[in-house]
Amino acid sequence: MPAAGQITANARLKRRTALASVAASVLMTLVKFAAGMTAGSLALLSEAAHNGLDVAASGLTYYAVREADKPADEDHHFGHAKIEAVVALFQTGFLFVLAAAVAFAALRRISGEAEIVDANVFAFGAIVISIVIDIVRWRTLTVVAARTGSDALAADALHFSSDLVASTLVLVGLAATRAGLSHADALAAAGVALFIGVAGFRLGRRTVDALVDTAPKGLAEPLRRAVEQVPGVAGTDYIRLRRAGAKVVGELGLHVSRTLPLERVAALKADVEAAIRTSLPNVEVTLTANPVALDDETLLERILLIASRRRLFVHHLGVQNVGGRKSVTLDLEVDGGMRLAEAHEIASQLEAAIAADLGAEIEVETHIEPMEIRELGGEPAEPALVERIAAALTQAAADGGALSEIHDVRVRVGPAGHYVIFHCRADANLTVAATHDQVDALERALRDRFPEVIRIVGHAEPAR
């Protein structure tokens, strides 16, 4: 993002293009007015008046592109991009007023006697030069407007495309007048008025669409496809888009699994933003993640979600089908210093929440366990004790046969007893359940020999 006081390359390009348009309008106004007065051509004078208004319109365009590039501030939280649309609306008004004035003058001439028009070389030269200049600046404005997304420059481009047609009509009118056709100049002026009016209508429709936040056509579906291709997105809820200068901004709702943790949802939103930047770089949307229950959501996931929402820790979760009725058992950890009455109330509320979500016919039973939430003191045990415990673990592993390579044995002495931590190796193809059973058997054997051990943490690693 450019620093304060700096302008972007697009902003500089828009300003240069707008200034060039102003200069071209001034030049063509003077040339056409001089040629129209010399030839007595209403069509040429109408075009001169048209170009005179072009000067004002192009001046407004220059003002608009300068203001629209200002950053957001306390009074304009979404920036100043819509200033361009407001200026384009003024240009629409100019076009309609001019079209009405030219049409009125043309009708007066057609209804009266044909006036003498001197279709001289100066008049033809002025209109030919005008056509060439209109082609160049129409093409330039169109390209720059598309590149920068400028409403004001797009309005100027549309305006000058009508100028090109109008100038061609004037040229035809002058040629017809020179050939001796009466009222040809006035009829050409009426054609100029018609095309000015058409340009005003097209410009007005585009401008009003920008001001009333009409959704850009054909953009919602590509945006939806880009978003729904991101892994983890379950679908789109809503898409609201509007144009704001060079960009399209809006809001987009995502469907995500309600079982996802907040950190994963945040990462998923970042992935969606990156996908949008890649496929639709001019689109900026505010993302909202809406949790939904997916069809493939398991019973275990639903129960864990209910517990996590209540900030409760559960484990040893089991689900049985007993006589066509679901039975859920789980261990609930609460503060070991909590009164039983409080702990029982927490367990009852959790059971009620699970039944409310899964159906009242489900059976839910909880086993309350103490959770130590304080940090405990401790110190390393004597090396001789560590060696005896390591030897006992090695012997028990050898007797069991499934575990091997007992290593990294640590023993800590705490206020309530001894804590043992060890690593071992097991067959890499052994299931987690089977591995857990083997480690549990090892821990039981150690407790039988060392009753002072109150906590054992065994970490199994794949055999090398």
Residue 103: band (very low, low, confident or very high) from pLDDT cuts 50, 70, 90: confident
> For residue 172, what pLDDT is reported?
74
Distance of CA 312 to the CA centre of its chain: 35
Percent of the chain with pLDDT over 90: 27
> For residue 36, what pLDDT is reported?
66
> For residue 120, what pLDDT is reported?
62
> For residue 6, what pLDDT is reported?
42
Closest C-alpha to 309, from 317, 301, 318:
301
Greater pLDDT, 367 or 163: 367
> For residue 5, what pLDDT is reported?
42
Q: Residues 298-312: what's their mean pLDDT?
A: 85
Greater pLDDT, 173 or 446: 446
> For residue 150, what pLDDT is reported?
66
pLDDT digits (tens, 9 = 90+) for 202-223: 767 777 776 666 767 878 889 9
> For residue 375, what pLDDT is reported?
74
Residue 80: band (very low, low, confident or very high) from pLDDT cuts 50, 70, 90: low
pLDDT digits (tens, 9 = 90+) for 129-176: 777 877 887 788 778 777 776 666 676 676 667 667 767 766 776 677
Q: Residue 1 above 50 pLDDT? A: no
> For residue 46, what pLDDT is reported?
65
Q: What is the CA radius of gyration of the chain?
A: 40
Query: Lowest mean pLDDT: which of 223-232, 316-325, 394-403, 449-458?
Result: 316-325
Residue 462: band (very low, low, confident or very high) from pLDDT cuts 50, 70, 90: very high
Instruction: Tell me the three-class secondary structure of the chain, residue by residue.
Output: CCCCCCCCHHHHHHHHHHHHHHHHHHHHHHHHHHHHHHHCCHHHHHHHHHHHHHHHHHHHHHHHHHHHCCCCCCCCCCCCCCHHHHHHHHHHHHHHHHHHHHHHHHHHHHHCCCCCCCCCHHHHHHHHHHHHHHHHHHHHHHHHHHHHCCHHHHHHHHHHHHHHHHHHHHHHHHHHHHCCCCCHHHHHHHHHHHHHHHHHHHHHHHHHHHHCCCCCCCCHHHHHHHHHCCCCCCEEEEEEEEEECCEEEEEEEEEEECCCCHHHHHHHHHHHHHHHHHHCCCEEEEEEEEEECCCCCCHHHHHHHHHHHCCCEEEEEEEEEECCEEEEEEEEEEECCCCHHHHHHHHHHHHHHHHHHHCCCCEEEEEEEEECCCCCCCEECCHHHHHHHHHHHHHHHHHHCCEEEEEEEEEEECCCCEEEEEEEEECCCCCHHHHHHHHHHHHHHHHHHCCCEEEEEEEEEECC
Q: Which residues contact 221 (CB under 8 A, 6 or more apart)?
A: none
pLDDT digits (tens, 9 = 90+) for 392-420: 999 999 988 889 999 999 999 988 889 99
> For residue 2, what pLDDT is reported?
45
Residue 169: how many other CB atoms lie within 10 Å = 23
> For residue 337, what pLDDT is reported?
84
For 435, the token pair is 């591995």
pLDDT digits (tens, 9 = 90+) for 236-292: 888 988 877 667 888 999 998 887 888 889 999 999 999 998 988 888 888 999 988
Residue 352: how many other CB atoms lie within 10 Å = 12
For 112, the token pair is 């009266």
> For residue 442, what pLDDT is reported?
93
For 63, the token pair is 């003002």
Q: Residue 53 above 90 pLDDT? A: no
This prediction's pTM: 0.50
Domains and CATH numbers, the chain: 9-211 (1.20.1510.10), 220-292 (3.30.70.1350), 299-371 (3.30.70.1350), 379-462 (3.30.70.1350)
Q: Residue 60 above 80 pLDDT? A: no
Query: Lowest mean pLDDT: which of 41-50, 228-237, 451-460?
Result: 41-50
Q: Residues 25-51: what's their mean pLDDT?
A: 68
**Between vectors from CA 183 to CA 181 and to CA 189, what angle results, nearest 5°?**
120
Residue 315, phi then psi, degrees to nearest 5: -155, -175
Residue 62: band (very low, low, confident or very high) from pLDDT cuts 50, 70, 90: low
Query: How high does pLDDT run on average in the chain?
Result: 79
Greater pLDDT, 303 or 409: 409
